[in-house]
A = this chain, B = another copy of it.
């Protein structure tokens, strides 16, 4: 089976712009082609759009805007996980031989309909994700005796990282006190514990081994893929302080990549809310149960391993359909030593963790240079 590589990417600043979805989508595609004039559009035979936007036929619309006449073009939606699901789908088109080169383009508007979980009646009146995040925070703090101040470090770190990411929506740094004193949304959640809905776009071009080597001087390969859906309603989670779907997806991805978690040099973790970062680190095996915050604290003074170097969702902003693609671009830049001040020393292998709706589904990718 052919290896699947990342031949190019494009990304533009996340914002609160009121762009039409087509306009926003096209921004990162334009950026991709401007940075990679060597790419031959005739080779692109699939266009996948990742979004929660209600507009229809965005695949063919984007293809027409980008002057591509692909075989396949459609949209993919799975809430926050849409971007990584689209990358896995692109991988399957190439690995199966149906496609040589796939453009995966994600975009969202700040007012995305994917932010309200209308469908989950188990949430009662609490259809906004902050309610599951509150329950997770309360449960996690209680189970592992973690304080509000400790959890606040996630937000402090990720806002600090985001300052070095020119595409991040946040430009400010905050102290632990700033987080604790920010607006109280629920008993267990402050405003600065939350990722911000925003407008954003990110695009990635995947290709077969041959084509990737032809178009990219520093190819990055997708060596591991893991996905798991445990349910849709979050009350079906077996626990509110662990992420079962992320655990299974992570193990599957590491098995496929034939490596251990200790061989990962840099990771993008889905931190929609502060508590998600330690919980995901534990699910993926970076930390023992309850020790995710300890890991984060220990990493504060090292440059050998970084979690969420681009600032995570909390610092970068969270344009749902674009998030998984932006995460994958960050790891690609790290492995290509193109991450500037965010650069991890000698990064050879990176991991992307993305998930939807209280980790009822997760996708994990392992990337290698």
Contacts and interface: CB of A to CB of B under 8 A. Distances in A.
Contacts of A229: 47, 59-60, 63, 69-73
Contact of A98 (B57, B59, B72, B91): B91
Contact of A77 (B75, B79, B231): B75
A96 interface: yes
Interface stretch (A175-183, A293-301, A354-362): A354-362
A52 interface: yes
Given A64-B231, A70-B229, A57 B357 contact: yes
A14 interface: no
Contacts of A72: 85, 88-89, 227, 229
A73 B63 CA distance: 24
A212 interface: no
Given A58-B119, A69-B231, 16 more contacts: A1-B96, A56-B79, A57-B78, A60-B231, A64-B231, A69-B230, A71-B227, A71-B228, A72-B88, A73-B229, A74-B85, A75-B77, A77-B77, A89-B89, A92-B95, A98-B225
Contacts of A260: none
Interface in A189-227: 225-227
A58 B71 CA distance: 25
Contacts of A228: 69, 71
A53 to B, nearest CB: 10
B78 A76 contact: no
A113 interface: yes
A221 B323 CA distance: 37
A24 to B, nearest CB: 14
A59 B95 CA distance: 23
Contacts of A357: 57, 60
8 contacts: A1-B96, A56-B77, A57-B117, A57-B232, A61-B232, A63-B232, A72-B229, A76-B76
A345 interface: no
A57 to B, nearest CB: 5
A227 B60 CA distance: 12
Given A229-B69, A232-B61, A357-B60, A96 B85 contact: no
A55 B118 contact: yes
A285 interface: no
Contact of A60 (B55, B114, B356): B356
Interface string A77-94: 111011001001101111
Nearest to A82: B74
Interface in A34-65: 47, 52, 54-61, 63-64
A59 to B, nearest CB: 6
Contact of A96 (B71, B82, B96): B96
Contacts of A59: 78, 229
A21 to B, nearest CB: 9
A76 to B, nearest CB: 5
A64 B121 CA distance: 13
Given A73-B361, A227-B72, A55 B93 contact: no
A333 to B, nearest CB: 26
Contacts of A81: 74
Given A57-B119, A63-B229, A63-B232, A88 B95 contact: no
Interface in A96-113: 96-99, 113
A89 B71 CA distance: 12
Contacts of A118: 55-56
